[in-house]
Amino acid sequence: MRDVIITALVTSVVIVLAACGSRVCETNATQPCACEGGEEGTAHCLEDGSGWGMCRCKVVSATPAPEGTRANQAAQQTPTPTPSTPASSGAQGDPSEQAMAERIAVQLLKGWSEGRFEPLGDEFTQEMRTKLSPEAQKQGHAATAAMFGEFQSLEYVETAPVGPYRAYRFKGTFTKSQGDARPEVRVIVDDQGKVGGFWCRPWTADLAGPPPGAGAGDQGDPAEKALAERVALRFLKGWDDGRYEPLGDEFSQEMRNKFPPAVQKAGHASTATMFGRFQSLEYVEMVKIGTFKAYRFRGTFDRAQGEARPEVRVVIDNDGKVGGFFARPWSPTMM
User: Could you give all domains of the chain from N- to C-terminal order, each with its CATH number?
Assistant: 30-201 (no CATH), 222-328 (3.10.450)
Which range, of 214-223, 274-283, 322-331, averages the lowest pLDDT?
214-223
Report CA-CA distances (Å) from 255 to 5, 29, 157, 230, 323: 9, 48, 26, 16, 5
- pLDDT of 292 reads 84
Statement: residue 23 has pLDDT above 60: no
Of the candidates 123, 103, 115, the one whose C-alpha atom is nearest the C-alpha of residue 43 is 123
Q: What is the pLDDT of residue 93?
A: 66
| Dihedral over Cα of 206, 193, 37, 44: its sign | negative
Q: List, in order, residues 6 or more apart from 50 with CB less than 8 Å away.
A: 20, 21, 22, 23, 24, 119
Residue 242 or 67, more confident = 242
Among the residues of the chain, which ranges form H helices?
95-113, 126-131, 134-148, 222-240, 253-258, 261-275
The pLDDT of residue 328: 86
Question: pTM score > 0.75 for this model?
Answer: no
Across the chain, what does the average pLDDT equal?
75
In percent, the amount of the chain with pLDDT more than 90 equals: 40
Distance, in Å, from the CA atom of 72 to the CA atom of 77, rounded to the nearest integer, reads 12
pLDDT in the model for residue 70: 30
Q: Which of 37-51, 105-119, 241-255, 314-328 has the lowest mean pLDDT?
A: 37-51
Count, residues in the chain: 335
Q: How confident is the model at residue 247 (pLDDT cuts 50, 70, 90)?
A: very high
Amino acid at 4: V
The sign of the torsion formed by the CA atoms of 146, 148, 150, 151 equals negative
pLDDT at residue number 244: 96
Instruction: Look at 94 and 159; give whichever has higher pLDDT.
Output: 159
Whether the CB-CB separation of 195 and 166 falls below 8 Å is answered with no
Res 112: pLDDT: 94
Evaluate if residue 335 carries a pLDDT over 90. no
Cβ-contact 310, 236 below 8 angstroms:
no
Q: Is the pLDDT assigned to residue 17 strictly greater than 60? A: no
pLDDT band at 319 (very low <50, low <70, confident <90, very high): very high
Confidence of residue 65 (pLDDT cuts 50, 70, 90): very low
Model confidence over 134-162: pLDDT tens digits? 988 888 888 788 888 999 999 999 998 87
N-terminal to C-terminal alpha carbon distance within the chain: 20
Confidence of residue 332 (pLDDT cuts 50, 70, 90): low
Residues of the chain by 3-state class (helix, strand, coil), percent to 5: 30, 25, 45
DSSP letter, residue 97: H
**Residue 325 scores a pLDDT above 60:** yes
Average pLDDT of span 271-290: 88
